[in-house]
């Protein structure tokens, strides 16, 4: 990525760009991708998957230990 200044921008255009970039997020007017169902889905909907995976790994490990005796 280039770090040099775009030569076609005037100082006023550059200042306007910096103001736009530094504006806080507008949560009242969502970006189009945030309106999709996947983006609004609760983060905890798959919270049960990690404990289930851990339990399955422990059971498989116990099975191999018991079978090796």
Asked if residue 14 lies in contact with residue 5, where contact means CB atoms within 8 angstroms, the answer is: yes
The pTM of this model reads 0.38
The DSSP output letter for 36 is S
How many residues appear in the chain? 69
Asked if residue 48 lies in contact with residue 54, where contact means CB atoms within 8 angstroms, the answer is: no
Q: For tokens 């798959």, what's the residue? A: 46
Token readout for 38 is 């996947």
Q: Where are the domains of the chain?
A: 8-40
pLDDT value at position 64?
Answer: 94
pLDDT value at position 3?
Answer: 47
Per-block mean pLDDT, blocks of 10 residues, the chain (69 long)? 60 85 71 60 73 96 93
pLDDT value at position 35?
Answer: 59
């Amino acid at each position: 990525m280039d770090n040099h200044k775009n030569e076609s921008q005037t100082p006023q255009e550059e200042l306007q760009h910096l103001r736009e970039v530094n504006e806080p997020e507008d949560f009242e007017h969502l970006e189009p991708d945030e309106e999709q169902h996947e983006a609004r889905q609760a983060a905890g909907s798959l919270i049960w998957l990690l404990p289930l995976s851990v339990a399955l790994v422990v059971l498989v490990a116990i099975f191999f230990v018991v079978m090796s005796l």
